[in-house]
A and B are shown apart, each in its own frame.
Chain A
Amino acid sequence: MSMTITLSREDIVRLCERVEGAQRRAYAIPKLTDEHPGMTLGDGYAVQLELRRRLVEQGHRQIGWKAGLTSKAKMLQMGVSVPSIGFLTDRMARPENSAISTGDLVHPRAECEVAFVTKQALVGPGCTKEDVIAATDYVLPAVEIIDSRFSGFKFDLESVVADNGSSARFVGGGRARDPRELDLRTLGVVMEKNGEMVAMGASAAVLNHPAEAVAMLVNILAELGESLPAGSFVMSGGITEAIPVKPGDSVIARFQELGSVSMRFVE
């Protein structure tokens, strides 16, 4: 993976402002590569990191990272072939069983994930899933509400990375567990929307093991000159396909061994 930056600082700031505006005011924009067909993955991450710099400057606190596009199903659904990462802030977190407003989202979708909370720093390159498990304090079930700011959820890897991996909201909850006491690869998951099962799978859908996705995330961070500090909250990627949600919908994600996470959506 090359992280070469080809765009000028000016272009990066301009694209970042475009993404930030779309995120803040919840409107869809054309994918960035329409205007910059030569945009690289490095350019995408440069826009994302500029967005993080601006948000942190505005008082948002980064609490961790998310891995995205980590399952075959998601890669097919989105037409990309490499996973991505995005940053998570305190402003994106919503409590378990809360009412989540969709008024400030474009076209939200919910997906089930295993989340990790670390107790030791993880540094790439060469980070393995064994390193991740050794550095994990606990795992917990989570639902991520992704929201691409691109029209029709249609994008390429460069654009989605610039849009912070479609990060929007997330809900962690359920039961915290020690990953050394579980088979993290075979956890079954069911997502119900309004009482009906709408998505199902097992955790191996995420790069064959969710900790593998966290290791990949740490190795991408290394390419960006960063590491994963102790105490990070990391979402390892959707086990199930992402299901569209709208006001009035109630969602519950049930995980083998990890309990459940619920939320509802309002205007």
Chain B
Amino acid sequence: MNHETIQKYGDELYAAWLERRTVAPLLEREPNITLDDAYKIQLRFVARRVQAGETIVGKKIGVTSKPVQDFLGVFQPDFGQLTSGMVYTEGDTIDLGALIQPKAEAELAFVLKSDLKGPGITAMDVIRATDYVVPCFEIVDSRITDWKIKIQDTVADNASCGVYVLGNAKGDPRQLDITLAGMVLEKNGELHSTGVGAAVQGSPANAVAWLANTLGALGIPFKAGEVILSGSQSALVPVADGDELVCTVGGLGSCRVKFTGRSAV
């Protein structure tokens, strides 16, 4: 895919995000689009947000569970870039009016205290470089019509990033079994689903190590202070006006989030 086409699709996704509307799947229009092309489109999309005043605050890892990988026909995760406009803190109410077709996922987030530069990064390096972990919600959203995504579509669309909320319960990964920590998700006071850290690539730290190595190969920095959303440990939860979600990570604590307003779709 040539530079102009990559710019065009990156700009198209940026405009769709800005105007809260969807576009047809890229793969339907460009059947030969590669994963490399898709990441280049993502870089353009994110660059437009940065040009408009946002900063890069971290990364998200997606497609980390076997069921999702099977669904998309891939054998590895993907990643997207978190920007300052996506950040909510616990206690905030998320305005669905700013989103298109959002769904929530419960995850463990990592905050780094030193840079992680792949290749050659292992899960042990990840724990060593981690300042703390927190329970979090990622509200994924898609600029692709009806979420009809293949892996190239979601990668180009910045891994379907929407917004995210970090919980206040900080934990040291040296004091917590992040692999076997349970994840309990409640919606409006009722149990919705449960999961466990191991659902993410065998351990969330494995997913972060994969990301460090993948970013290293692409020459993208992975810096101290960045937030990494390590991948969903729950089912996808549709959210609507008035909904309240709570996720609890065993041995760590909870993250609580409320929603208001109506999304575009």
Contacts and interface: CB of A to CB of B under 8 A. Distances in A.
Interface of A: 72, 183, 185-190, 197, 200-205, 208, 239, 254-257
B250 A256 contact: yes
A86 B50 CA distance: 61
A256 B181 contact: yes
Interface stretch (B33-41, B188-196, B237-245): B188-196
A201 B198 contact: no
Given A186-B251, A201-B196, A256-B177, A208 B182 contact: no
B183 interface: yes
Contacts of A185: 184, 248
Between B66, B194, B197, B198, the greatest number of chain A beta carbons within 10 A of the residue's beta carbon is seen for B194
A249 B199 CA distance: 21
Nearest to B66: A197
B194 A205 contact: yes
B196 A208 contact: no
A189 B184 contact: no
Nearest to B254: A186
Nearest to A201: B194
B180 interface: yes
A201 B195 contact: yes
Contacts of A189: 180, 182, 196
Contacts of B183: 186, 188, 202
Nearest to B250: A186
B180 A186 contact: no
A183 B196 contact: no
Contacts of B182: 186-189, 201-204, 256
Interface in B166-191: 177, 179-184, 191
B202 interface: yes
Nearest to A260: B180
A203 to B, nearest CB: 6
A208 B193 CA distance: 10
Contacts of A201: 182, 194-196
A202 B202 contact: no
B165 interface: no
Contacts of A255: 180
Contacts of A204: 182, 184, 191, 194
A200 B191 contact: no
Given A183-B250, A185-B248, 18 more contacts: A72-B191, A186-B251, A188-B198, A189-B180, A190-B180, A200-B195, A200-B198, A200-B199, A201-B182, A201-B196, A202-B195, A204-B184, A205-B191, A205-B194, A254-B198, A256-B250, A257-B250, A257-B251
A197 B64 CA distance: 14
Interface string B250-262: 1100000000000
Interface string B73-111: 000000000000000000000000000000000000000
B249 interface: yes
A116 B13 CA distance: 54
Contacts of B251: 183, 186, 256-257
A202 B184 contact: yes
22 contacts: A72-B191, A183-B250, A183-B251, A185-B248, A187-B250, A188-B180, A188-B250, A189-B180, A190-B196, A190-B198, A197-B198, A201-B194, A201-B196, A202-B184, A202-B194, A204-B184, A205-B191, A208-B191, A239-B194, A254-B198, A256-B181, A256-B251
B114 to A, nearest CB: 28
A98 to B, nearest CB: 23
B184 A186 contact: yes
Contacts of B194: 201-205, 239
A200 B196 contact: yes
A201 B193 CA distance: 8
Nearest to A187: B182
A66 to B, nearest CB: 20
Contacts of A239: 194
B258 to A, nearest CB: 21
